[in-house]
Structure 1
Amino acid sequence: MCSPEEEALLQLEEVFSVTLDHINNLVLQPLLKAAAEPSDPWGRECLSLLQQLHRSSRRLWEVTKESLHSLQERLHHPDSFGLEALLLLHSADHILQIHIEYIESYTSCVVVNVFQKAAKRRSEYWRAQRKMLQQFLSGMSSAGSVGTVLVQALHQPLAHHVQQYVFFLLSLADTIGEHHPSRELVVHAAELFGNLQSFMSQELDQAMATQALRHTLSSRVGDVLCTPSRRLLQDSQDIPVTVTPLRSERVLLFDDSLVLLQGHSVHTFDLKLVWVEPGQDGCMFHLLTPEEKFFFCSKDPQGRVVWQWKVTQAVCQALRGKKDFPLLGAGLKPSEPPSCRCGAYTFLSEGRFCQATYEGEWYWGKPHGKGTLKWPDGRNHVGEFCQGLEHGFGIRLVPQASEDKFDCYKCHWREGSMCGYGICENGTSEVYKGYFQEGLRHGFGVLESTPQAPQSCRYTGHWEKGQRSGYGIAEDSDRGERYIGMWQADQRHGPGIIVTQAGVCFQGTFQADKMVGPGILLSEDDSLYEGTFTRDLTLLGKGKVTFPNGFTLEGSFGSGAGGGLHTQGVLDTAGLPPDPGSTRKRQLGLGAFPVESRWQGICGPFQDFVRAGCPGDLQEALLGFHVQSSKELRKSQEYLCCERTHPEDHTGRMEDILEELLQHREPEALQQCLRKVRAPGEGADWRDRPMNIF
């Protein structure tokens, strides 16, 4: 047998379904008809809001009819249709969500005065319907403008219905007793609709406050700030607060943004990228944004507490992407917004990021983590950031001004500049693979032209501050020669060797890209000349020629009258000819470039890396690819360990041993140190035991 409370709920649903049907026919349909075929953007917005309200009203009517049907089934078949089968109980969350959708659609219309403006279009009709509207205002007066009556008629029946829901559900919970199997469902439903009452009240208050704010602003600012989906949470005219350094005249806190009004200027800050510094007291607290730090100061500590709490909860709500239920600050824990977030922001201040839009991870107002940076001129950077700067691996594209091509930089970055190993493709002309420092080529690197380039060239060697400097090898296909030697400030400078395509080799000294002083010239037939000559390898001045058969010619050389070689000197034929069984020819450059001076660009960074203790964050920048950490490497290779214990059990002991090894470089001391490595409790020598090196 059904309880009186269930019968009361049945009657409540019957009345409410009829009321919703009347509201649809007598209020919403005429409003839609009056707003039909708008000719201006504002009219189209009103029509869209009314259509959304009509759809949510129909869904509310449909779920009310379903709830009514389940109550009727319960009334007619109480034995087979248990209390837990009531839609109002087992689908309370679904019904609640439909109520919330209607409330949000209704308050969106309230914010922009949709009902008042729609009523003006058919003012005579609505004045004639004032008595009809009174039926929806139980216990309330219909005095006031028609627009005000419409606002009340679309809200008051729902508010009364939810209030009755709570009353009858609480009564039902008391009637069935604590041990009834459906009591938990009844209490849960009563709690939900009790919270819905608070939510409705707050939503209407915020909508009315936003509507009232619109009248205090200029039409331009009001249209921008007071949109249908936005709600005003706090106004500095209600609780005074000053903001420095902007010296704003008015501060407005919306549910999605913080707005500072300063004269004709409007400064808007997305709450998703607003950080409230914790642990503040007195009358002041601090806010951080991507480009600003603000000081909020109130007249008293109570005002500071209200503003700080509301801003904090509004930030949490904005990050969750949905409104707190039932009230602001009553959302899911934690109530403190996270320090790390994701969002998009366009920088406005002067600097490298000016007009650039960053989208990605943030930490306390600065890009931090993975993100994308895009400039209006087509530049973009994808990679890792740290404290507002590019830091870690990143890829940057820079468009070329003259053609539809891009320069691509795939490199490691450090504090905003390229640093470490990288690959840079300059359009379709050349590719650099090597190391950088402070954004410039620095260290070992290879610069090579692409197959599409008009000129073919290649340089392999050392760089310093963006210029070829130190030991390097340059190949010039146009001249048909290769230079092997030292460089300075992008010019050949110091000892070097030139090898031509014809097989002629020259070894000498260069200064400012020019040969100076004597040198050695080795021709393709293995003749060796030691002396001075010109840039085009023409013998000129004093020198000595050693022929392949061992003869030597020493004297002065120059150009003859007919363009041939003119010489005056001494020919020595007493030299021994080379061994006919030997196939080895003369070579230049042996011993001229010691290994330690040749590849400082490779050895130097590695030595610095080792001296720094091999930090994990520098491994990729040094090696140019992802490497596993030592702990990951040990775990991935546990099957290679010979010891029965876990590899990490001996990590500290092995590190101590290795550190001690570095202190004993002499063979005898090293041997004594190694003998100490033995299993606990055993006397076996270290050579008798397998060692875990991972």
Structure 2
Amino acid sequence: MCSPEEAALLRLEEVSSATLARINSLVLQPLLAAAAEPTDAQGRECLRLLQQLHRSSQQLWEETEESLHSLRERLRRPGAVALESLLLLRQADHVLQVHVEYLEAYTSCVVAQAFQKAAKRRSQYWRGQRKALRQLLSGASTEGPVGATLVQALRQPLTHHVQQYVLLLLSLGDTIRECHPARELVVHAATIFGDLQSFVGQALEQAVATQALWPMLSSRQRDALYTPARRLLQDSQELPLTVSPLRAERVLLFNDALVLLQGHSVHTFDLKLVWVDPGQDGYTFHLLTPEEEFSFCAKDPQGRAVWQWKVTQAVCQALRGKKDFPVLGAVLDPPDPPPCRYVAYTFRAEGRLCQATYEGEWYRGRPHGKGTLKWPDGQEHVGEFCRGREHGFGIRLVPQASEDKYDCYKCHWREGSMCGYGICEYSTDEVYKGYFQEGLRHGFGVLESAPQSPQPCKYTGHWERGQRSGYGIEEDSDRGERYIGMWQADQRHGPGVMVTQAGVCYQGNFQADKMMGSGILLSEDDSLYEGSFTRDLTLVGKGKVTFPNGFTLEGSFGSGSGRGLHTQGVLDTAAVPPDPSSTRKRQLGLGSFPVERRWQGVYTPFRDFVRAGCPGELQEALLGLHVPSPRELRKSQECLCCERTHPEDSAGRMDDILDELLQHREPEALQQCLRKALNNSLHPLGKLLQTLMLTFQATYAGIGANKHLQGLAQEEVKQHAQELWVAYRSMLKVALQRKGLAPEAEDDAETRDLQVHSLVLPLVLPSFYSELFTLYLLLHEREDGLYSQGIANLSLFPDTKLLEFLDVQKHLWPLKDLTLTTNQRYSLVRDKCFLSATECLQKIMTTVDPREKLEVLEKTYGEIEATVSRVLGQEHKLPMDDLLPLLIYVVSRARIQHLGAEIHLIRDMMDPTHTGGLYDFLLTALESCYEHIQKEDMRLHRLPSRSDFTELW
């Protein structure tokens, strides 16, 4: 059975539905007809607001009809339809939202005086409708202005309807048992409509106060501030307030903005970008905005409390994007606005950000976090900000004069300037990868032009305040030249080496990009000139030429009126022809560029990082980054979420790296730990090695692959190994300090050299081996050519003839244990004699580690002795007289290419502790074999005749 309260709700909904229908036909439709075809902006706005109100009224009527239908079903079939199925209870929140939307549309029309403006166009009509309007107003007077009557006609039914909802729902709740399923729904509906009743009252008061404000302002002020959705929350004329440093005459607090009026000037501040700071006394509080800070002072503590509280709550309301419900201030102790926000803002004050728009994260009035900054001239910066400045990783686009051309900077920034590692792609198609300081290239970096540019070139080296300065390498692909040396103010200045693709090399002092004074010129045929040059590298003045055959020409050089070189001096033909190995002495740059000072710009960022305690937030600036290659500037998040060392993960990763160093300090574990670190480009040591590889390739690969640079290269590899060991030790020291452990004792020179050669050099040498070995090949090309010719001739001998030719004692020949017929002897012995030693020696080419190469040589010696011992039937130690010819035999059968380059690389890179030991002895024996095979009697001896081969078969 239905309750009287339900019946009353049914009657209320019937009345409400009929009233809304009458309002639509009697008020809204005529108003829309009167506002149709507007002739100005105000008329168009009035029409838009009335149309919005009409739509909201229609939605409210439809909702009321659905509620009415559910109530009728309940009264008609009380046993079949449960109370909780009523629309008013089941969808109370939705019904509430429809009422709120209608209220927002109505109050906007009130603020804009839409009823009054539309009514003026049909005043005669409205005078004839006063009786009907009086019915809507429940008998209230309609003798006032038509516009005010219309306002009241739409307001009174709404407020009465909500009031009756609350009363009937409360009464219905009192009649329902506590355990009834609909009890909770009824209480909820009564609560939210009670809140709506309060909200309606406050919204109407704000609308009336706002509507009354606009006529009080000047037309200029009104034009700057007026919008139908804006509501006045507080006025300093009602509650006085003074502002400093700006002497504002009036302060207006709206629901979306704080406004300071000063004469004809209107200063508007978006509440989303207002931060409230309590003052130190009871009268003052402070506001922070993106460009200004203000102090607000009230006449008494109560006034200050009201203003501060209202501004704070208005900021919260603006950030939420909707009004407080049920009313502003319903919560006695509401939460403060968040200090971090995401808002768009266009700067107005003069300065570097004038007219720039920032969209992103803010903190206390300053861009802070991730965001996008756009200037009117097309510049755009996407990245990380700190206290209003670009700080952290960021991408900057700078448009150029050419159409669709711009510079793209993908860098780390510090306090608004590029600082740290970055990649810059210029509109000229040049690319710079390296370090910056205060917005300029500074430290180590690589600048490379596009391959298709008219003059392709590449610079790898040091920079100082945007200019090439210090040690650096420039490669000019178009001219086929490479300069290795010192720079100053973007010019070659100081000692330098010029290497050309034609094989000509220069070494001397450069000034203003030109070589001047005394120097060295090495031609492709190894002719050596020592003397003076002009700026265009012409020989002039006193000098000396040493020819490849040992002849020397010493005198004065110059260019005459005709073509060619003119000289006057002494030609010495009595000199002894140089030894093939003398080219090793013609190494350029060794005395000019101390190896420990060449690449300080590579080590400096690492040292600064370690000196700072290896902080995770600086790890990305040290390691560099991998950003998308296309120059398209996408959305902020897409640009920032590229393949990078993310700062939020860096601290944890750095802790793991340091912990791993602490856990692997034993020699075997340490070598594995270092190998893993050096192979990882995201590890500081791996990044350091990767950069050193880049410098090595830039210096010695391609055009720079010149035999006269071999000495420069091999000492550089050793220096890099030492520096990497020092780098490891410095990181270990930081790891120990973080754990509060005692630091390890400093390495002395002997211990450091031992660790470098035993641990680090074998790990880093593979990274440089390709370029380094190429230089050894070029340097020893002539020697290896003679060696190869000797090997080719010796390979024509069968084993027995070769052993006999090498004077190997016959009792050592490994033939006695073979039971072979005469016809089998040649073919099988040729493949079997000292085969194990030969195969062992061939493994020397399969490794790059000098120690492993020496171990191969030691095993080869062991295989030779084992074979001899087997032949003799007893253990036998070979004296040098017996070992050398047997080793020559094994070397000739192993046919190792470029053996001279291998031997010299081993000798140069081997551990100094092996000097004078077994390895040194075996390497010396291998060197002797190599030199014997080069000798003339090995290369020009009588080859075996056909009869010799016939006899052997």
TM-score by length of 1: 0.91
Cα distance change, pair 301–429 in 1 and its aligned pair in 2 (3 A):
same
Contact 1:211/1:226 (<8 A) preserved? no
Distance (whole Å) between structure 1 residues aligned to residue 460 and residue 551 of structure 2: 38
Equivalent residue for 1:205?
A: 205
Structure 1 residue 37 displacement after superposition: 1.4
Alignment of 1:151-300 (within 5 A): 151-278=151-278, 280-300=280-300
Equivalent residue for 2:429?
A: 429
Say whether 1:563 aligns with 2:584: no
Cα distance change, pair 155–637 in 1 and its aligned pair in 2 (3 A):
farther
Alignment of 1:582-593 (within 5 A): 586-593=586-593
Alignment of 1:343-422 (within 5 A): 343-422=343-422
Distance (whole Å) between structure 1 residues aligned to residue 654 and residue 741 of structure 2: 23
Structure 1 residue 564 displacement after superposition: 2.6
Structure 1 residue 183 displacement after superposition: 1.6
- Determine helix, strand or coil for the equivalent of 2:743: helix
Say whether 1:629 aligns with 2:650: yes
Structure 1 residue 658 displacement after superposition: 7.2
Structure 1 residue 657 displacement after superposition: 9.3
Structure 1 residue 332 displacement after superposition: 12
Greater displacement, 136-145 / 380-389: 136-145
- Determine helix, strand or coil for the equivalent of 1:328: coil
Equivalent residue for 1:339?
A: 339
| Equivalent position amino acid for 1:665 in 2 | E
Equivalent residue for 2:442?
A: 442
Contact 1:325/1:331 (<8 A) preserved? no
Equivalent residue for 2:311?
A: 311
Say whether 1:664 aligns with 2:745: yes
Contact 1:329/1:335 (<8 A) preserved? no
Structure 1 residue 306 displacement after superposition: 0.9
Equivalent residue for 2:48?
A: 48
| Equivalent position amino acid for 2:746 in 1 | R
CA deviation profile, 1:223-242 (whole Å, cap 9, x unmatched): 43231111111111111111
Structure 1 residue 517 displacement after superposition: 2.4
Equivalent residue for 1:38?
A: 38
Aligned residue pair count: 661
CA deviation profile, 1:84-109 (whole Å, cap 9, x unmatched): 11111111111000000100000000
Say whether 1:2 aligns with 2:23: no
Equivalent residue for 2:492?
A: 492
| Equivalent position amino acid for 1:662 in 2 | P
- Determine helix, strand or coil for the equivalent of 1:286: strand
- Determine helix, strand or coil for the equivalent of 2:72: helix
Cα distance change, pair 654–504 in 1 and its aligned pair in 2 (3 A):
closer
| Equivalent position amino acid for 1:171 in 2 | S
Say whether 1:57 aligns with 2:138: no
Q: State which structure, 1 or 2, has the greater radius of gyration over its C-alpha atoms.
A: 2
Distance (whole Å) between structure 2 residues aligned to residue 178 and residue 327 of structure 1: 29
Distance (whole Å) between structure 1 residues aligned to residue 531 and residue 735 of structure 2: 60
| Equivalent position amino acid for 1:468 in 2 | R
Greater displacement, 574-583 / 476-485: 574-583
| Equivalent position amino acid for 1:629 in 2 | S
Distance (whole Å) between structure 1 residues aligned to residue 394 and residue 401 of structure 2: 22
CA deviation profile, 1:11-33 (whole Å, cap 9, x unmatched): 11111111111111111111111
TM-score by length of 2: 0.67
Contact 1:252/1:259 (<8 A) preserved? yes
Structure 1 residue 513 displacement after superposition: 2.7
Cα distance change, pair 335–23 in 1 and its aligned pair in 2 (3 A):
same
Distance (whole Å) between structure 2 residues aligned to residue 443 and residue 268 of structure 1: 46
Structure 1 residue 480 displacement after superposition: 3.9
| Equivalent position amino acid for 1:234 in 2 | Q
Contact 1:324/1:331 (<8 A) preserved? no
Distance (whole Å) between structure 1 residues aligned to residue 359 and residue 503 of structure 2: 57
Distance (whole Å) between structure 2 residues aligned to residue 452 and residue 143 of structure 1: 87
Distance (whole Å) between structure 1 residues aligned to residue 186 and residue 97 of structure 2: 17
- Determine helix, strand or coil for the equivalent of 2:59: helix
| Equivalent position amino acid for 1:18 in 2 | A
CA deviation profile, 1:488-512 (whole Å, cap 9, x unmatched): 1112111101123432211011233
Structure 1 residue 146 displacement after superposition: 0.8
Distance (whole Å) between structure 1 residues aligned to residue 468 and residue 738 of structure 2: 43
Alignment root-mean-square deviation, CA: 2.6
Alignment of 1:586-665 (within 5 A): 586-625=586-625, 626-627=644-645, 628-629=649-650, 631-632=652-653, 655=736, 660=741, 662-665=743-746
Distance (whole Å) between structure 2 residues aligned to residue 641 and residue 562 of structure 1: 73
Cα distance change, pair 403–102 in 1 and its aligned pair in 2 (3 A):
closer
Structure 1 residue 36 displacement after superposition: 1.2
Distance (whole Å) between structure 2 residues aligned to residue 83 and residue 541 of structure 1: 117
Say whether 1:468 aligns with 2:468: yes
Cα distance change, pair 466–110 in 1 and its aligned pair in 2 (3 A):
same
Structure 1 residue 383 displacement after superposition: 0.4
Contact 1:374/1:380 (<8 A) preserved? yes
Cα distance change, pair 245–212 in 1 and its aligned pair in 2 (3 A):
same
Alignment of 1:132-147 (within 5 A): 132-138=132-138, 140-147=140-147
Equivalent residue for 1:103?
A: 103
| Equivalent position amino acid for 1:133 in 2 | L
Cα distance change, pair 642–551 in 1 and its aligned pair in 2 (3 A):
closer
Equivalent residue for 1:573?
A: 573
| Equivalent position amino acid for 1:287 in 2 | L
- Determine helix, strand or coil for the equivalent of 1:291: coil
Cα distance change, pair 60–636 in 1 and its aligned pair in 2 (3 A):
farther
Distance (whole Å) between structure 2 residues aligned to residue 150 and residue 55 of structure 1: 18
| Equivalent position amino acid for 1:495 in 2 | P
| Equivalent position amino acid for 2:436 in 1 | F
Equivalent residue for 1:302?
A: 302
Runs of 5+ unmatched residues, structure 1 = 644-650, 671-694
Equivalent residue for 1:686?
A: none
Contact 2:220/2:264 (<8 A) preserved? no
| Equivalent position amino acid for 1:631 in 2 | G
Greater displacement, 395-404 / 317-326: 395-404
CA deviation profile, 1:254-292 (whole Å, cap 9, x unmatched): 101111111111111111001001465411110000000
Distance (whole Å) between structure 1 residues aligned to residue 55 and residue 738 of structure 2: 76
Distance (whole Å) between structure 2 residues aligned to residue 102 and residue 547 of structure 1: 103
| Equivalent position amino acid for 1:121 in 2 | R
Equivalent residue for 1:682?
A: none
Contact 1:462/1:471 (<8 A) preserved? yes
Distance (whole Å) between structure 1 residues aligned to residue 265 and residue 11 of structure 2: 56
Distance (whole Å) between structure 2 residues aligned to residue 635 and residue 182 of structure 1: 59
Greater displacement, 215-224 / 248-257: 215-224
Whose helix proportion is higher, 1 or 2? 2
- Determine helix, strand or coil for the equivalent of 1:557: strand
Equivalent residue for 1:457?
A: 457
Contact 1:370/1:384 (<8 A) preserved? yes
Greater displacement, 356-365 / 215-224: 215-224
Cα distance change, pair 101–264 in 1 and its aligned pair in 2 (3 A):
same
CA deviation profile, 1:336-356 (whole Å, cap 9, x unmatched): 100000111111112211111
Cα distance change, pair 396–165 in 1 and its aligned pair in 2 (3 A):
same
Distance (whole Å) between structure 2 residues aligned to residue 545 and residue 138 of structure 1: 122
Equivalent residue for 1:26?
A: 26
Contact 1:169/1:189 (<8 A) preserved? yes
Structure 1 residue 629 displacement after superposition: 3.0
| Equivalent position amino acid for 1:257 in 2 | A
Distance (whole Å) between structure 1 residues aligned to residue 747 and residue 408 of structure 2: 51
- Determine helix, strand or coil for the equivalent of 1:629: helix
Runs of 5+ unmatched residues, structure 2 = 626-643, 665-731, 752-953
Equivalent residue for 1:122?
A: 122
Equivalent residue for 2:774?
A: none
Cα distance change, pair 562–585 in 1 and its aligned pair in 2 (3 A):
farther
